[in-house]
Amino acid sequence: MLQKIKDKILSEQRLTKEDALRLFDTDDIFTLGKLASRAAKKKNGNKAYFVRNIHINPTNICVNRCKFCAFSRSKGEKGAYELTINEIIQKLHGFTHSLINPFTEVHITGGLHPDWPFGYYLEMVSGIKKAFPKICIKAFTATEIEYFSKISGLNIMDTLLELKKHGLDTMPGGGAEIFDIAVRNQLCPEKLSGEGWLAVMEAAHKAGIKTNATMLYGHVENYEQRVDHLMKLRELQDRTKGFQAFIPLAYHPKNTELGGRGHNTSGIDDLKTIAVSRLVLDNFPHIKAYWIMLGEKLSQVALLFGADDIEGTVIEEKITHSAGALSANAMTAEQLKNLIKKAGKIPVERDSFYRELGVKS
Ligand code: V47
């Protein structure tokens, strides 16, 4: 019975850890969805956002070996690649003649390359900015920022400020995985800790850089560890207000060292996770249903379970597709709009700061 929690939500009281656990435990998916949908409507009306963007992964060569990752390679290993700055810019030029133009965002994240100096990333950002002054550069997870700080000898704040000076606009929310130490040690023992991830984000927000946050779910974690993750994000957001969107990332097991139960997360778990996130993260403006991971159709249903954003055109997704994603690699703005409309929502094209672009249709 969710009556007590329902009363709490309707009287605008904040949910506790225990409440969040009850919500994850419930089988009453319809009540949960209705409550989350109501919360989403209060924040964003009937709108659902999308962005014309391109995901670029400059390299898959990585010094870490996260056990859930099917994308990373060692230097010299079959399938390892690295892009020059010129190749990245040429790629972007190529898309100016495509259906997704005018794109407004480039989303950049990649492996922790053993040899590239920090200057390479600064040149990458300034090179893209010079070639495409109007495009927003959303780049580098907290994990990459901490790595750049190590290789440059700069502290985290100065690393961020240098990137910002060279044209970095916002940061994606990747690398958060699950903050719980025991789970993190199983998944990615070499990676920046949960506290470290939160500290980088706090510094980014202090530096005036808006970011997103994610949670990788559906592997070895339990509901308590998911709730702990959400609570830590909510606590930081109370202090900084620097997060724009939260994106639950559904684990894909194919080709990973961690493997799994041989299947992806269930649709019910995906919808529950979106809904609980919307209700618990009452201070996050947006909840994103990342269609690449949820699939086109379930991300549409997620718009009725608390999500108000489905990410974007994407175009060059590699991380989830290396791990067996069945979704397409790209969608046009028209396809995204149609998907949103058919969910009974108003499609709104946004830029990286959720400023609304063009006409609502
Ligand atoms: O950090 C890696 C995750 C993330 C797998 O901020 C996996 O707007 C599932 O963070 N199964 C990268 N997930 C993607 C990401 C993201 C995507 C879209 C939008 C935004 C945003 C951020 O993907 C990684 C990791 O947490 N990941 N391997 C896998 N096998």
- What 259-263 contacts at long range (C-beta under 8 Å, 24+ apart), as own/partner pairs, is 260/218, 260/219
| Token digits of residue 58 | 């400059």
Contact (CB, 8 A) for 310 and 289: yes
Q: Which value, in Å, is the radius of gyration of the alpha carbons in the chain?
A: 19
Nearest CA to ligand 1 atom 28: 69
Amino acid residing at 361:
S
| CB of 311 shorter than 6 A to ligand 1 | yes
- Band of pLDDT at residue 252, cut at 50, 70 and 90: very high
What are the pLDDT digits (tens) for 340-356?
999 999 999 999 999 99
Looking at residues 250-262, what average pLDDT do you find? 88
DSSP 175: T
Specify the fold of 26-346: TIM Barrel (3.20.20)
Say if pTM beats, i.e. exceeds, 0.85.
yes
| CB of 216 shorter than 6 A to ligand 1 | yes
Averaged pLDDT of the chain: 96
| CB of 173 shorter than 6 A to ligand 1 | yes
Contact (CB, 8 A) for 128 and 137: yes
Residue 179's CB: how many other CB atoms inside 10 A? 23
Exposure string over 201-240, b if 16+ CB within 10 A, otherwise e: bbbbbebebbbbbbbbbbbebebebbbbbbbbbbebbeee
pLDDT for 358 equals 72
What DSSP assignment string belongs to 201-252? HHHHHHTT-EEEEEEEESSS--HHHHHHHHHHHHHHHHHH--EEEEEEEE--
Please name every residue paired with 82 in a beta bridge, in sequence order, or none if there are none: 59
- Band of pLDDT at residue 41, cut at 50, 70 and 90: very high
For the chain, give every domain's residue range.
26-346
Contact (CB, 8 A) for 285 and 43: yes
Nearest to 232 by CA among 170, 184, 294: 184
| CB of 256 shorter than 6 A to ligand 1 | yes
What are the pLDDT digits (tens) for 95-145?
888 777 889 999 999 999 999 999 999 999 999 999 999 999 999 999 999
| Token digits of residue 223 | 């509901």
